Structure 1
Amino acid sequence: MIRLLVGILVFVINTIYRDRPYPRFYVLETVARVPYFSYLSVLHLYETLGLWRKADWLKVHFAESWNELHHLLIMEELGGASFWGDRLLARTTALIYYWIITALYIVSPGAAYHFMELVEKHAYNSYDKFLTSHEAELKAQPALEVARLYYRDGDLYMFDEFQTAHTPAERRPQIENLYDVFVAIRDDEMEHVKTMIACQLPDTKLAYLSPHNLEPQTAAFANTEANNTQAITAR
């Protein structure tokens, strides 16, 4: 079912937007934010009912949605949302997937995280191909202000918080032109993949801490670069 849901999303985006990269990325980023909203909604529900409270999960998933928001803002600046039909498709798809992932997260959190792992892998591959085929064009264009503020010049707390494979301030993208912006977005998607894999580990519920949490992390959730790379390769 998970692969079917991802496959439908990928088919629609790749078919309709084969030769329109910015609208394609706009739709992709609109939908990519939704599972994090679903996770947050369910986690808040559990806390409201007194079933479970874990602030670190809320911090990281909100930081992930914040990261995807800035990807979306970048695509909007590039004109990806200029046609009403693209906006309608993106928001309709996002609404449908929100309720699907919300129900799935209640029944099986691991499956909901696996869904997002596959979506983020697709996003990484899409951006990587785009960078290869448009390198010269992108390097000739300046970086957008929204990208400079998010990745380089602004408050980077939220940027650090979604990357559970890194310690705070470890990753600082170079943002000099539009090519650098897309490199940063591509690499963000792989950081999401690593975090989604980490969320599926057996001891995650007990061991999970956010990157800025100063308490010592357990071995089950150390999330080093090597461990995540090995997990991704194994899949």
Structure 2
Amino acid sequence: MKAQREKEQTEVAVVEESFPVRETAPLDGADDLMEPTDDSWVVKLEQSVNIFLTETVVTILGSLYRDRNYARFFVLETIARVPYFAFISMLHLYETFGWSRRADYIKVHFAESMNEFHHLLIMEELGGNSLLFDRFLARFMAFFYYFMTVGMYMLSPRMAYHFSECVERHAYSTYDKFLKLNEAELKELPAPQAAINYYLNEDLYLFDEFQTARAPCSRRPKIDNLYDVFINIRDDEAEHCKTMKSCQTHGNLRSPHSIKNGLRSDTE
């Protein structure tokens, strides 16, 4: 466990060095659905469970997809969309019951789900979903992951966000390793049309929206080959990781566009 925590700290440092972090002001007056921040033993327990669960899934996928990178990425991206669906579901439910209203959270999570959706389209275009087994496994895991995340969010939103951070950190590490091992080959391959459509689209509002540690329009990807595509996917995961970390502190998440335009907070 100690070795795993040291590994996690190293990966966090790498992720956070990827882009400058922009400080955001907390939301005032929001209903506090997060767990108390002073129960350090509870935080440690939540994080220990999340790390164990993440490592278990990583080990299973690693044994199944040793040399089948695109299939593995297809499974990862199918799973990666799920927590954002679960977060949005719970936030809508809490708003319906009058317990909380967090429009910025819903907006950012939707943008995150769309980003992961386009990662999935890219992996499908690369043939990652060509086998029935891979499609079945990805959807089977996603089905149970959704309900697990909903239950975890009801118990502790902080824990649910930390688990998603662990998943995104693993995704960043996986893509980073893949890039280092296959740089020359990837630079010789063309970019999938799904990547060109997403990253070079004139309307990049949702692309900017999920990057809560950046000012809108501050990142504009280059897509010349498949290497560039995976660079951008990896960097997207770094942004997800930072957003999930921000969510673990109550009221710390705000839409990048609402901050830029001086909009009123979503707690009204």
**Shorter-chain TM-score above 0.5:** yes
Mapped partners of 2:180, 2:133: distance in 1: 28
Could you tell me which residue of structure 1 aligns to residue 172 of structure 2? Answer: 124
Kindly provide the CA deviation profile for residues 167-203 of structure 1, in whole angstroms up to 9, marking residues without a partner as x.
11001111110000000000000000110111112xx
Residue 21 (structure 1) aligned with residue 69 (structure 2): yes
* Runs of 5+ consecutive residues of structure 2 not aligned to the other structure: 1-48
Aligned length: 215
Mapped partners of 1:162, 1:2: distance in 2: 23
1:215 Cα deviation from its structure 2 partner: 2.2
Match of 1:209 among 254, 262, 268: 254
Kindly provide the CA deviation profile for residues 65-112 of structure 1, in whole angstroms up to 9, marking residues without a partner as x.
100000000000000000000000000001111101101011100100
Mapped partners of 2:74, 2:220: distance in 1: 24
Could you tell me which residue of structure 2 aligns to residue 144 of structure 1? Answer: 192
Larger radius of gyration: 2
1:216 Cα deviation from its structure 2 partner: 7.0
CA contact (8 A) 2:209 2:216 kept: yes
CA contact (8 A) 2:212 2:253 kept: no
* Runs of 5+ consecutive residues of structure 1 not aligned to the other structure: 219-235
Could you tell me which residue of structure 1 aligns to residue 146 of structure 2? Answer: 98
Could you tell me which residue of structure 2 aligns to residue 181 of structure 1? Answer: 229
Q: After the TM superposition, which parts of structure 1 deviate over 6 Å for at least 4 consecutive aligned residues? A: none
Mapped partners of 1:117, 1:132: distance in 2: 23
Mapped partners of 2:68, 2:264: distance in 1: 44
Mapped partners of 2:156, 2:198: distance in 1: 33
Mapped partners of 1:88, 1:208: distance in 2: 35
Mapped partners of 1:67, 1:36: distance in 2: 11
In structure 2, relative to structure 1, the CA distance for the partners of 1:200 and 1:138 (3 Å cut) is same
The one-letter amino acid paired with 2:79 is V
CA RMSD between the two structures: 1.4
Match of 1:162 among 210, 225, 228: 210
Kindly provide the CA deviation profile for residues 17-47 of structure 1, in whole angstroms up to 9, marking residues without a partner as x.
0110000000001111111111011001011
Could you tell me which residue of structure 2 aligns to residue 171 of structure 1? Answer: 219
Mapped partners of 1:216, 1:55: distance in 2: 12
Task: Give the percent of matched residue pairs that are identical in Structure 1 and Structure 2.
Answer: 57
1:154 Cα deviation from its structure 2 partner: 3.6
Mapped partners of 1:216, 1:42: distance in 2: 24
Could you tell me which residue of structure 1 aligns to residue 118 of structure 2? Answer: 70
Mapped partners of 1:118, 1:135: distance in 2: 25
Residue 84 (structure 1) aligned with residue 132 (structure 2): yes
Structure with the bigger RCO (C-alpha within 8 Å, sep 6+) is: 2
Match of 1:37 among 74, 85, 103: 85
Kindly provide the CA deviation profile for residues 200-234 of structure 1, in whole angstroms up to 9, marking residues without a partner as x.
12xx32x532011122799xxxxxxxxxxxxxxxx
